[in-house]
Amino acid sequence: MPAIKGKKCRHCQELFVPDHRNRNRQKYCRKPACRKASKAASQKRWLQKPANQNYFRGPDNAQRVQQWRKDHPGYRRTKSKTTSDALQDPLIHQPIENVDNNSKFVDCALQDLLTMQPAVIIGIIAQLTGYALQDDIAMALHRMQKFGNDILNPQSEGGDHGNQTSD
């Protein structure tokens, strides 16, 4: 294979080595400004052809575009974001059961504990504790609830407030 010679870019007038697969047709270098100039020149050449001068005008174009849109439904619709920022599953709305003794939430899930509370509370707790996982947040909530019960009911027996640790 013969060595590829340098060519002069039509836009910046500097020498460049064209891509070996396109060396006979490449007239512009790879710089962004030169690529932009190449695109503009290509569009100008395309629009100068008589068959293309009214390509984007008139009722024929409107009908062509309408047919293409009918053949390609949903092409321009934006895709929904599939990844989420949270590390846990979204909370599922569950009905609240009437329980006489709400002071013992030891074996309940975080969703049960905060079913009707706004997500802001969970965000505040996560921010204050530095936890991002549901189990850790639930453990922190249990400690906070125990503190609250001790403050509201000082005659009840005290507990081990700071002895629980997370994994």
Angle at 33 between CA 31 and CA 39, to 5 degrees: 100
Give the residue from 136, 140, 132, 142 showing the smallest Cα distance to 88: 132
pLDDT at residue 105 greater than cutoff 60: no
pTM (predicted TM-score): 0.37
Sequence ranges of the domains in the chain: 7-71, 95-167
How far apart CA 48 and CA 52 sit, in angstroms, is 7
Please check whether residue 18 is in contact with residue 4, taking contact to mean a CB–CB distance below 8 angstroms: yes
CA distances from 137 to 40, 91, 109, 119 (A): 57, 13, 10, 12
Give the residue from 121, 154, 115, 119 showing the smallest Cα distance to 140: 121
Please check whether residue 52 is in contact with residue 46, taking contact to mean a CB–CB distance below 8 angstroms: yes
The C-alpha torsion from 144 through 145 and 151 to 157, rounded to 10°, is: -110
Of 2-11, 102-111, 122-131, which gets the smallest average pLDDT? Answer: 102-111
How far apart CA 142 and CA 164 sit, in angstroms, is 10
150: exposed, middle or buried (C-beta count within 10 Å: 0-12, 13-18, 19+)? Answer: middle
If pLDDT is split at 50, 70 and 90, which confidence band does 117 have? low
pLDDT at residue 36 greater than cutoff 70: yes
Q: Select the more confidently predicted residue: 133 or 45.
A: 45
Please check whether residue 29 is in contact with residue 16, taking contact to mean a CB–CB distance below 8 angstroms: yes
The C-alpha torsion from 120 through 123 and 128 to 129, rounded to 10°, is: 140
If pLDDT is split at 50, 70 and 90, which confidence band does 88 have? low
pLDDT digits (tens, 9 = 90+) for 55-73: 778 887 888 888 999 999 8
How far apart CA 166 and CA 130 sit, in angstroms, is 12
Quick one: tokens of 143? 């400690």
Q: Select the more confidently predicted residue: 48 or 57.
A: 48
Q: Select the more confidently predicted residue: 59 or 166.
A: 59
Of 25-29, 32-36, 44-48, 89-93, which gets the smallest average pLDDT? Answer: 89-93
